Structure 1
Amino acid sequence: MHTKAIIPVAGAGTRLRPLTYTQPKPLIPVAGKPIISFIIDQLIEIGVRDFIFVIGYLGEKIKNYVEQAYPDIEKQFVNQEMRLGSAHAIWTARESIRDADDVFVFFGDTIIDLDFQKVLNDPYSTLGVKKVHDPREYGVVEYDEDGLVNKVIEKPRIPKSNLAMVGFYHIKEVPAFINALEFNISNNIRTDGEFPLTDALMRMIETGARFSTIEVDNWFNCGKKDVLLETNAIMLRRKGYASANLPDFDSSIVIHPVSIGENCQISNSIIGPHVTIGNNVRITNAIVRDSIIGNYAAIQEIILQNSVVGNDASITGLRQSLNIGDNTEIDFS
């Protein structure tokens, strides 16, 4: 059986700007590991060896990372020149999946926990779902009397279900999938000006494809800063992600869990909890907690919390020498 995986990573990550002006969102580190590596590693664990990455914005950086970090997997990189939606991204790679028996689609900014074995054992194509408070922001599923999906709707104004699709799909009917993508694009069937994957899945359902769902245990949609930092904290608390056997940093305190990269210079500082620090970072006279710091950053004389700092960034805080008289109030906030 020939299984392939498509990972669309062409988005611009606008909700994480300015960080994503120069850093593709899938390469942002969470608990010391780029988001895209969580996805690739999970698929490798279930036996997937053939990957297609749909790249676009800053795509060369993603290509370089995957080629260096995963030299042993089969990989293709397909460029989506115009960002016209998730279905359009997959459609650009349609020729690469024609020979596949089944296809995993896994969006490149999503980290999930689920039982992948259940997905592999399911006789139907499978949609990963999770209950959400406001389903109007997501693609939503509805069921028939047999418990199979009979409708998927992109961002419904009046949702009839609170089960949102989480960006993970296992497609067993690959020819029908390609036909649905081609039908919607050739007939210019759009939602809000784009070609969402939800509409292609609905086309498959209308032509007889059957889908079941699997509710994921956890879903971390890392497209927003607060979710990104929350995911970083959760992952650091899990076994195997936080750094162990750290060196003794000069006059500094480390409050675990943290992930600290190689060749970092830290002095007179308090680091943690829930901090991810990249490689070759310099931190002096600072307090950093609940934050993600990129490679080669330099931070001094500052208190940082709930922050995301990009690669090669430099931050220097206020340092004052004061001669204060009686009955004086100074507020630096």
Structure 2
Amino acid sequence: MVAVPRMTIAQLAEAAGVSVPTVSKVLNGRKDVSPGTRARIEQLISEHGYQRRRTGARSGPRLLDLVFNSLGNPWALQVVRGVEGAASAQGVEVVLSECSVGRTPRQEWLDSVLARRPTGVIMVFSDLEPDQRTQLEARGIPYVVVDPAGDDEGGAPSIGSANFDGGLMATRHLVELGHRRIAVVGGPRDTVPSRARVAGHRDALAHAGLGADLVRWGDFSVESGHAHGRELLSGPDRPSAVFAGNDLQAIGVYRAAHELGLSVPHDLSVVGYDDLPVADWIIPGLTTVHQPLLEMADAATKLVLALAEGEQPPVLRMDLAVHLVVRGSTSAPARP
């Protein structure tokens, strides 16, 4: 396959039938360009792989754009702390934004990013469309994905955690306590972290020779943990343990158990995932898989800033280790 040559900004202008300043306006996210002209220039950029050179210091403060699919989650606060800590150490400011709908940012968000030309972008549990990735790359704006939701993320540099290992150790802990009927309330079925945690759970069951596979798919919210918990615990053949895909869903399972007159851990053992601060405050304390959110955020910040300086780190995709934190929500089953 013959590679398509990259265009210069002058060649882009000639091919689009516009002036060089007009192309420059599009590259800088300016609004005073007609939609048709903008679309024509963006198409040429996509086809010919134009990429602006990174040119060291820019005027104004150095910025990092940090975008979440949702900011209404205590998980997000941990990531913000990690990013801001690493960014401030290097004199970089952080701009927060939210996808609002789904896990893909709106084009309005991207337009504002292009206009302020940040040092880099960190996506958290979010996806970029191929044309959005092209627009960032064309402007020389590097981006890193934290906790990638998709299978490939278009080959984007990413920092995640060992989700399969976390699901494996959570369920193995329950098996070792003597539980034989273990349910899992996973997160969204269409995301890699959720599927990997459930896959680890299933692997632990298989290695123990257990055929029961009570799988429910939720959305990482307290509400979904509560709803699935009510359904799983209401029947006569209820599980003696539940592995929840995150701590919020585990809290929902706690509430369902309480409403049904079941006590944790005497009647039901519960394991969560993330090890948010609330896991140590609820009663009984939640046994959970510690996901190194602060370390993930720190690593992502350092990686995107290194890319912004033109460095090529030896590793662009990394999964950090997780470990199990045992508290009071798990014990041997009261009934065989």
Taking structure 1 as the reference length, the TM-score comes to 0.29
The answer to which structure has the higher helix fraction is 2
The answer to which structure has the higher strand fraction is 1
